[in-house]
Copies of this chain bind each other. A is one copy, B any other.
Amino acid sequence: MLDFQIKNPTLILDEAICRRNLKKMAVKAKSLNLKLAPHFKTHQSLKVAEWCKDYEIDEISVSSFRMAFYFRDRGFKNIHIAFPFNPLLIEDLSLMQGQPVSIQLVNEEVARLVSQKVERSIGFFIEIDAGYGRTGVPVENFEVIDNILRVIAENKNMNFKGFYIHAGHTYHANLEGIKKIHKENQEAFRVLKAKYQSQYPELVCRSGDTPSASLMENFDHIDELGPGNFVFYDLTQAAIGSCNKEDIAVALASPVVDVKVGKNEILIHGGGVHLSKDVLNDNEVKNFGEVVLFEKDKWIIPAERAFLKSISQEHGLIHAPDALMERIKIGDVIGILPIHSCMTADCMRSYRTLDNDLIDHLEGTMK
């Protein structure tokens, strides 16, 4: 059991694991001459942001203006808002002008609006869809890219930084699939550079997903990495091989409220409002999280796997092997490694370190 008392579901953050993940990615980026501008939507924490500074990170990515303001007001000036710019927020953008902030554009309409309104310098990336299918200009659609660049060129305050790809389909792939997607992204960047670099010699290409940043070694045609999840990792990343389970930096501490002897089931207070409803399917068996056991100042992954087979709003039902059934009693606190750590952190809105220090999360600081 941990050294301090936990009475309600509490997200525990292992600083040592988190720092190890940060350092590993920073060292890798440096060795490959890539700029690392990590996405802070995963942790949304000023404290974790401070740790990032130890690894020479000075540009960050966020997913909303609210998040941008949170970090800007505490000393992070160089911010990319990595979400297709919402034209309803044009007034918020005016509060960011004149700073080393960049936004993301995916269509001509919004580019025109921004171009008409912006009065001081601001950067922008054009987001490219190279196969994920969620957002961005389809890579073959030079007409839209040209139109965005033409409209934006009318306003000298708009600085074109380059192209951004978030290959979210790597999160559902295996190693071979990730390699294939990564090559497609590299090819997309190669083509874009070939076409636009003469006109925009400073343009950079940034790749956003954690799996390729974690697993690939060749980053030709890529200049910058913007992954988020790697700072905590989670069971989704472990399942596709981006990390080991030992690299997961957060676990939900959950009170045990019933032990169902003879059924190999343990009931915890810990459900969808804590973990989110993200799920892995292991051969048609649903997995909403996996058990770890707390010791004084760390957690241990048990030799025999135990996992959350179902969750509802507040309840979690663990499928537990005999060894765990014998060890756990009602009133214990059990740890759950999350399926998707970004979502779990957003649900929980604060963390405790293994030393019981409170770690902030943006969502826990605002009414």
Interface residues in chain A, defined as those with a beta carbon under 8 Å from any beta carbon in chain B: 5-8, 41, 63-64, 66, 83-89, 92, 106-107, 109-110, 113, 133-135, 168, 255, 257-259, 267, 269, 272-273, 276-279, 310, 312-315, 317, 329-331, 333, 340, 342-343, 346-347, 364-365, 367
Asked, given contacts A257-B84, A277-B278, whether A135 binds B346 with beta carbons under 8 Å apart, the answer is no
CA distance A367 to B363 in the complex (A): 9
Given contacts A276-B276, A277-B279, 5 further A-B contacts (CB under 8 A): A7-B89, A83-B315, A86-B269, A134-B312, A273-B343
Given the complex, which residues of B lie within 8 Å of A329, measured CB to CB? 109
Asked, given contacts A135-B258, A135-B267, A330-B107, whether A7 binds B314 with beta carbons under 8 Å apart, the answer is no
Given the complex, which residues of B lie within 8 Å of A255, measured CB to CB? 86, 88
> Do the beta carbons of A277 and B41 come within 8 Å of each other?
no
Please state the number of chain copies in the assembly: 2
CA distance A88 to B5 in the complex (A): 9
> Do the beta carbons of A330 and B110 come within 8 Å of each other?
yes
Asked, given contacts A134-B267, A330-B110, whether A314 binds B83 with beta carbons under 8 Å apart, the answer is yes
Q: How far is the CB of A231 from chain B (nearest CB, A)?
A: 14
Q: How far is the CB of A125 from chain B (nearest CB, A)?
A: 15
A87 and chain B: residue at smallest CB distance:
B331
Given the complex, which residues of B lie within 8 Å of A331, measured CB to CB? 87-88, 109, 113
